Amino acid sequence: MRLFFLWLMQIKTFVDAVDKYAQLGLRTLCLGWRELSLEEYLEWSRLFKEANSALVDREWKVAEVCQKLEHSLDILGISAIEDRLQDGVPETIEILRQSGINFWMLTGDKQSTAIQIALLCNLISSEPKGQLLYINGKTEDEVARSLERVLLTMRITSSEPKELAFVVDGWALEIILTRYKEAFTELAVLSKTAICCRVTPSQKAQLVKLLKSCDYRTLAIGDGGNDVRMIQQAHIGVGISGREGLQAARAADYSIGKFRFLKRLILVHGRYSYNRTAFLSQYSFYKSLLICFIQILFSFVSGIAGTSLFNSVSLMAYNVFYTSIPVLTTVLDKDLSEKTVTQNPEILLYCQAGSF
C-alpha cells in the first residue's frame, strides 16, 4: 500500500512538472522505458518496416505500429526545452492583423504550451476583452455540444469588438471533420483566430483545404517536415529555412530566413505584384482589342475584302516594340513607397477587396 501511494505521488509530481513547464512555454518530452523480448522486438520491427514502406496512409500506419510498442512504460524523467520565438514575431503578427489577415495556429504541441506561445507572439490577447473558447470533450456527444456552444457564442458576438479565439485539439478535430464539418465551416468563417493543438500533418492539410472551401485565400507558413503537406495544400506556401531543416523551404512557393520577413513579403512584394499583375492584365486586353477593332473598321472600308491593314512585320512590331514600353515601366512601378506601405498596413485591404 505504501509503495502504491509513493507511485501515485511520483505520477502527480511528473504531471505537475509537465503542466508547469508547458505554462512557461517550454516544449516537454516525457521519457519512459520497458524491457522487450527478442521475439517481441522482431515482430514489431517487421510491422514497422511494412508500415514505413506503405504507399497509402503511411503516417497513420506508422503511428499505429508505434502505439503497439509504447505502453506499460516506467517513467524515467521529463525534459523541457526552450524553443525561443524569433525576433520580431509579435510585431509582424500585429501588423499583418491590421491589414485584415486572420491567423490560425496549427501545432503539434499540447494545449497549454500552444496557448502560452500564442500569448507570447500576440496571437491572442491577455486583456479582459480577449476570450478563449474551448472545443473539447471525452466523447463525441461532448465534442458536439462544445462545438455548438462555441458556434453560438461566435454568432452572438460577431458584431462586437471582442477578440475571440477558439482552441481545439487533434482528437476533437478528427471527430469534427468527420461528423460536424458544416458547423465547423461556419465557425471558421466567423473566427479570426484559432489555436489547433495536437494536430497531425494530415489534419493541418485538411484545415487548409477547409478554409479554401470557404472562399478564403490561404497562406501557410512552416519550418519543419510536418508542415510540408499544409504548405503544399495552401494557395501560397512559405517555408522558413533554419534549424528545422530545409524540407518546408523546398516544398514551398517562397522561402524566407526569418518569420519577420513575412511582413515585407506580403505588404511590399505581395501588394506590388498584385497591382502590376492587375494593370498588365487589363493592358493586355486593351491593346489586343484596340488592334482588333482597327482591323474590323478597315474591313468595312475595304468592302470586307479579307485583307489586313497591317503587314506581318507591323503586327509583330506592335507587340514587341510599339506596346512594350508600358510593360517595362509597370514592372518597375511603385505607386507607394515601401515605408508608406509598411507603416500603413491597412492599405492592403484595398487589394483584398479587389480594388485597383
CA contacts within 13 A on the Cβ side of 155: 10
Residue in the block written with cell 517536415: 225
| Residue 129 predicted with pLDDT over 50 | no
Q: pLDDT tens for residues 253-307?
A: 999 999 999 999 999 999 999 989 888 888 989 988 888 888 888 888 777 777 7
Strand partners, 165: 132, 193
Residues ≥6 apart with Cβ < 8 Å to 161: 129
Q: Rounded mean pLDDT of 221-230?
A: 90
Q: How far apart are CA 55 and CA 57, in angstroms?
A: 7
C-alpha cell at 183: 458547423
Say which residue, 209 or 323, is predicted with more confidence: 209
C-alpha cell at 351: 487589394
For the chain, domains (ranges, CATH) are: 2-81 (no CATH), 89-260 (3.40.50.1000), 267-352 (no CATH)
Please, what is the Cα angle at 343 between 212 and 162, to 5 degrees? Answer: 55
Q: Percentage of residues in the chain with pLDDT exceeding 70?
A: 94
Q: How far apart are CA 106 and CA 169, in angstroms?
A: 10
Residue 215 gets which letter from DSSP? Answer: T
Model confidence at 356, pLDDT cuts 50, 70, 90, reads low
| Residue 83 predicted with pLDDT over 90 | no
Q: pLDDT tens for residues 85-116?
A: 788 899 999 999 999 899 999 998 888 888 88
What's the confidence (pLDDT) of residue 104? 95
Q: Rounded mean pLDDT of 5-32?
A: 80
Residues ≥6 apart with Cβ < 8 Å to 109: 27, 117, 197, 198
Strand partners, 134: 167
Q: Rounded mean pLDDT of 123-146?
A: 82
What's the confidence (pLDDT) of residue 4? 64
Tell me phi and psi for residue 182, to 5 degrees: -65, -45
Q: What is the residue-wise DSSP string for 16-39?
A: HHHHHHHHTTPEEEEEEE----HH
| Residue 351 predicted with pLDDT over 70 | yes
* Helix (H) or strand (E) run with residue 134 in it: strand 130-135
**Contact by Cβ (8 Å): 62, 103:** no
Q: How far apart are CA 296 and CA 206, in angstroms?
A: 52
CA contacts within 13 A on the Cβ side of 102: 19
Alpha helices of 53-163 — where are they, by DSSP H? Answer: 58-69, 89-98, 111-120, 140-157
| Residue 161 predicted with pLDDT over 60 | no
What pTM value is reported for the model? Answer: 0.80
